[in-house]
Structure 1
């Protein structure tokens, strides 16, 4: 059993992490996948299923009717794990969900140690984004099912870790983490505390770069003060701050009256919901907003789009001329239509991982909307 481990994935019914509605597990013995366990879960809490979450994983309230409750499922999870280390992709989410579900149902947290395939992937492959499908592609690992199917994701996370071991010349999880200077995450039931899986060695924090005054003043972020809170999945904070500086924006360490935009490290803006735990920067932004200061909170998805647009060509003079020639009512109708089209392509790209147009074609749609907004500023609302 020494060197064996189990990958795990949870799916949730709504925006609260503890609303676990599905679990998938994959056992790895002597470097090979040997066994699996999966079940639907009657989710803890009374939040029910949101349309957004169901659109991601396809699970509905009717499907979990009669499914076991969390305490019974936790016992099954622990029996299958049998004391072996656990692995998850973005383990901070999965084990946060486990803690929340236990707290809600008055069940003691289990003692556990776990590794994160996302943390390992960051030290193994150079990627623009580290969501599981992108990491699997870089590792040469085929997805065994739809992304956000708990069993398929557990299988894929296991194969990603095995691929990382091959890259680093080891066949044991302990040796891989030791080589990459990554520590296990831990759950401590006696004290009710935990520590996340992370690198032991923290790079020296670099000073925040200064905005480039020679950048394109037409860029959507030029001259703006931007603060980032949380962890970005697509790039490091230092890289994000440098890209902001390159396009003429000033990154800031904290939220102040100078702050124009707060970027929250999540791909789903609908997670900014009442009752969610907010960071100190997010709370400060809300206080400034309540006091009349204009500040915008955006998701990582919107931030990446703005970075892409800032690096792209500005709105052409011809596109702007055509937009200005339109009556406001016609411009408003075009703006509404292209906004729906942009949202649809965002959903296909970021949620279902099934884009139907190229990045260049998407940028042209966004630039077209931007031309309408420049010609008719009232459309920005």
Structure 2
């Protein structure tokens, strides 16, 4: 792994199509050689909450390039055939990238990637959280959180700290040691980076902290089912639901209240336009069942 590219995206509003900044840190031969932030005109409105998070305002991006030009000019030249991308909580950044590509009718780029949040969870096992700020504090580093260049730089430093313990391992050996599956972005689809779990029983997924159960939450006492590839491992998504006070299941039945749509792999649909879960859910809705089909963005907003 000679070239590693750490990426971080910020958005102008809750929509994953509203990328307004990209930060990157480029690693070559184990050293960070370049770190930069590029502002992007999202061609969308700015939400006051998002502005409070990253500090980017509409006037700051006025006259800046839009995403297609930024990607072509700044990011694409950094990605060679053997480049591995990394991001902290990569599910979010990969989702922003996919949605923004869809917005501009761009083909998805082709690369493999790792999530430093997952690597951190499998390496720094004593932490009570694996958020970027928590891991950075654990390493004794300081940074300006939610500034894209700073977040990308910290992601790169986290990766280098973990990788330093396994200097003699190649990529496949490193992933095996970390018990992670490489994520893949490709023109015709997407596979999430995730921990290689042994098979698990849904019945074993229990609330991690009963104090976090919210009786007023829309998922409380409701059954949630997932279909397609999510930006996070399926088990992790289920855990979020259970922690709130909801229930999860593998299949759509008369007990299902929500079906969450991830990215559908056309190769697994056997020529159909919809998965069997979606077809079953739509049939139950027509019969009057209290069941709602929501996309992954809506699910993430709700949790």
SS at match of 2:176: helix
Match of 1:170 in 2: 167
Aligned CA distance change for structure 1 residues 54 and 122 (closer, same or farther; 3 Å): same
Q: Secondary structure at the match of 1:165?
A: helix
Deviation per residue, 1:91-130 (Å, 9 max, x gap): 2221222222223223333222211112212212234433
Structure 1 distance, partners of 2:114, 2:232, is 19
| TM-score for both structures, normalised by structure 2 | 0.69
Provide the C-alpha distance between the structure 1 equivalents of 2:246 and 2:111, rounded to a whole number of angstroms.
42
Cα offset, 1:292, TM superposition:
9.8
Aligned pair count reads 262
C-alpha distance in 2 between matches for 1:125 and 1:10: 25
- 1:33 deviates by 1.4
Given the superposition, is the C-alpha separation of residues 58 and 252 from structure 1 closer, same or farther in structure 2, using an over 3 Å criterion? same
Aligned with 1:97: secondary structure? helix
Q: Which residue does the alignment assign to 1:37?
A: 36
* Superimposed CA distance per residue, residues 58-91 of structure 1 (whole angstroms, 9 cap, x where no aligned partner): 1111100111121221121012344422111122
Counterpart of 1:179 (choices 177, 180, 185) is 177
Do structure 1's residue 202 and structure 2's residue 201 form an aligned pair? no
Q: Indicate conservation of the 8 Å contact 1:85/1:112, yes or no.
A: yes
> Equivalent of 1:68, from 60, 65, 75?
65
* 2:206/2:243 contact within 8 Å kept: no
Q: Does 1:58 align with 2:58?
A: no
Gaps of 5+ in 2: 261-276
1:12 counterpart = 2:11: yes
Cα-Cα RMSD? 4.2
Flag the structure with more relative contact order, 1 or 2, with Cα contacts below 8 A and sequence separation at least 6: 2
Whether 1:225 and 2:221 are equivalent positions in the alignment is: yes
Higher strand share: 2
Distance 1:237 1:122 in 2: 16
User: Given that residues 86 and 113 in structure 2 are in contact (C-alpha distance below 8 angstroms), is that contact kept between their aligned partners in structure 1?
Assistant: yes
* Structure 1 match to 2:263: none
Deviation of 1:17 (Å)? 1.1
| CA separation of 1:293 and 1:207: change in aligned 2, threshold 3 A | closer
The question of whether the paired residues in 2 share the 8 Å contact of 1:231 and 1:237 is answered with no
Which protein shows a greater Rg? 1
